[in-house]
Structures are given as structure tokens and as C-alpha cells.
Amino acid sequence: MPFKFLTTSDLSTSWPRPERRLPENITGSYEDRGSTVTLYSRGELEKAIADGFMPVVISSRRRLGDHDDWWISLVEEAEGRIYVMGPGEGGGREFTAFCRDVVADFGLVWPMETIFEEKGPEPMFWLGGLARLNEQQRQEFN
């Protein structure tokens, strides 16, 4: 079964496109500085599952919250996997390293790119690396 690598940012948003602002797309809410923030599904997880991919969610958060329960249950039902980075700075380089470790669990090689000729190939930043791996998975299994 092909994998679809997703981040928690791929799953829900508090600023959905107008056509996604429907009651059935509301996934939860949380309190932030005295205001209630409503979260909406982006539809990415549901689409990945419907298309036959095993969802692999990678989070840069320190921990997951109650507002994540909706997607956790979908991932579990699809026999997917969830990885939470946990304590740390959570910056781009640290999250890229975390993503590389997750990808290695699946026997995949993290994509490289050359930005500066004198430095040679370097690991892609997490956003580009996950996108490249998802495209490879899509092409390999279609």
C-alpha cells in the first residue's frame, strides 16, 4: 500500500476556503487568548484514504490536543501511523531531521537537492522533501 505523508497543518485550518466553511467540515475547536478558534478539515486526509493511501501524519507539535481526536481516529481506522516530534525547538531544520527519521522507518530515502554547487547535494527542506516523496509514491502506485 502506498504512503501519503501529511503534517498536522495539512489536516485542518481555522481559515478554510469559503467552499469548505460548512458545518459538516468543522472538526473541533480550541481556546486561544480568550477566543474560541473553530477548526475545519482541509479534506487532505479524507482524500488520501479514499484514494487508497496509508496516511502517515507527522507533527512538529510538542503534543496533540483534544481538537486532534477527529483525525487521529481516521488515521487509526485506516491503519495509518502518527509521529509527534515532541519537546524541542520545532524549527525547520529540526523538523526536517525528524521527517527524515520517520521516512527511514518506511525504508525510503530522503530526497536531496543541490542549491549551491560548491556544497553539493543536501537534504531537501521538510516541505519539499515530503512533497517529493508523496509524488514518488503516487507515481509508483498508479
Per the structure block, which three cell numbers stand in for 129? 522533501
HSE value, Cβ hemisphere, 13 Å, CA-based, for 48: 30
128: how many CB neighbours lie within 10 A of its CB?
13
Q: Is the Cβ–Cβ distance between 92 and 85 less than 8 Å?
A: no
Q: How many domains does the chain contain in total?
A: 1
Domain that holds residue 95: 3-140
* pLDDT tens digit sequence for 40-56: 999 999 999 999 999 99
Q: What is the mean pLDDT of the segment spanning 8-37?
A: 85
* pLDDT tens digit sequence for 93-102: 899 999 999 9
Look at residue 93 in the predicted model and tell me its pLDDT: 87
Q: Answer whether residue 142 shows pLDDT above 80.
A: no
Rounded CA separation 17/42 (Å): 9
Site of grid cell 481555522: 14
